Structure formats: C-alpha cells, structure tokens
Amino acid sequence: MRIVVGITGASGSVYGVRLLQVLKELGVESHLVVSQTGVEVVKYETGVDVRGLRDLAVWHDVGDLFAPIASGSFRTGGMVIVPCSMHTLGAVAQGVTENLLLRAADVMLKEGRPLLLAPREAPLNKIHVSNMLKVMDAGARLIPASPAFYHRPSSLQDLVDFMVGKLLDGLGLEHNLYQRWGE
Ligand SMILES: Cc1cc2nc3c(=O)[nH]c(=O)nc-3n(C[C@H](O)[C@H](O)[C@H](O)COP(=O)(O)O)c2cc1C
C-alpha cells in the first residue's frame, strides 16, 4: 500500500513526523511532500531537518509538478495532510493546485480516493469553517488536530499517538497507538 503524506506550515508538525515513523513500521510506502513553510515549521517545532525524513518516505519536492503523485494514474491508497494549515485548506477547497502538495490533494478528490485533512488553527474564522464544509462536500474527511483526554494520556507522546492513531483509523490501518474506549 502507498500513502501520500503532506506536511504544511501549520503548528503540529510532530504529528506528521510521527505518522511517517508509524507508516514505516507498518510497512506502508509513504510519499512525502512538505510545503515551503512546512520545512521551516518542522525544523522550528521538532528540530528535525526534513532531509532527515527521507529515510522514512519517498521524498518529493513541493515544486516538482512532474512527480508521480501529481498524476491520478499513479496508484495510491490516499493522502493525509497533517498538520493542515488554513492556507492549504483554502487552496484545496478552491481547487488551487499551485504546488505539488495541493495538486496531490486535488488528485485524491478527482480520483475519489481518501483525502484526510488534520486542520489546526485557533480560533477559526468563517472562511476557515466555510472551507471545511467545501472540502467535505468534495469528499475529504476532516480529522482535526485536537487530541482527546479520555484515554488518560500520561505523556506528550500519548497525545501525539492518539492523533496519529485517528489518522490511521481514517486510512483503515490497524494499530495499537491508543487505548480504544470499551476495549
Ligand atoms: C511557527 C508557525 C506556526 C504556524 N501555525 C499555524 C497554524 O497552526 N495554522 C495555520 O493555519 N497556519 C499556521 N501558520 C501560518 C502558515 O505557516 C502560513 O499561513 C503559510 O502560508 C502556510 O502555507 P502552507 O499551507 O503552504 O504550508 C504558522 C506559521 C508559523 C511560522
């Protein structure tokens, strides 16, 4: 199975990095595209140089619109954008495909493949909310970057893993990243 992972310049890049680690552990082939601001925010928030992520995924430059993930004929099982900025959310909602991350998302929608967005912003304005409705109408699923506490996390890692577990649930992938309610 192949999954496209997009990391944007929203806060919460730790979720994207952890998702890549878990997908690798699960034997999933990840294709990674990081927005220009995403590169800087990953470095700022996690201390990770995105070039170090090349061990976890097939790397695609965000400016490379000739990359395989720019085409619907390249078969994938879906795409996760985590974290998803309001800029990228808005561009997806409008069908704007000015970079590879946006084009790959547009491909998911046109091919009817899973597109999971983990938006992160607070507070939200009406434009953000309206764009959320638009992408949902177009077939995307929203899995907000807002971890829960009912699984009684005892560390930051538990909170991150809860979110990543929710994303894997959205892709239909088995995992043990968080304790399910009632199990
Ligand atoms: C440290 C940092 C944190 C940010 N956090 C957010 C955020 O949580 N949500 C958001 O929508 N934008 C956030 N931004 C702003 C986006 O990075 C900015 O809107 C950018 O244009 C997004 O572009 P992209 O979608 O191509 O990554 C943040 C910027 C910085 C520098």
Instruction: For ligand 1, say whether the CB of 66 is within 6 Å of any of its atoms.
Output: no
Q: Tell me the pLDDT tens digit for each residue of 26-39.
A: 999 999 999 999 99
Is-contact 5 30, C-beta < 8 A?
A: yes
Taking the CA of residue 91 as reference, the ligand 1 atom at the shortest distance is 25
**Res 19: pLDDT:** 98
**Res 183: pLDDT:** 85
Instruction: For ligand 1, say whether the CB of 121 is within 6 Å of any of its atoms.
Output: yes
* Structural domains of the chain, ranges and CATH numbers in brackets: 2-171 (3.40.50.1950)
The model's pTM is 0.98
**From the CB of residue 120, how many other CB atoms can be counted at a distance below 10 Å?**
20
Taking the CA of residue 8 as reference, the ligand 1 atom at the shortest distance is 27
| Angle, alpha carbons 164-157-48 (nearest 5°) | 80
Give the residue-averaged pLDDT of 83-96. Answer: 98
Among 33, 41, 88, residue to substitute to test ligand 1 (most atoms within 8 Å of Cβ): 41
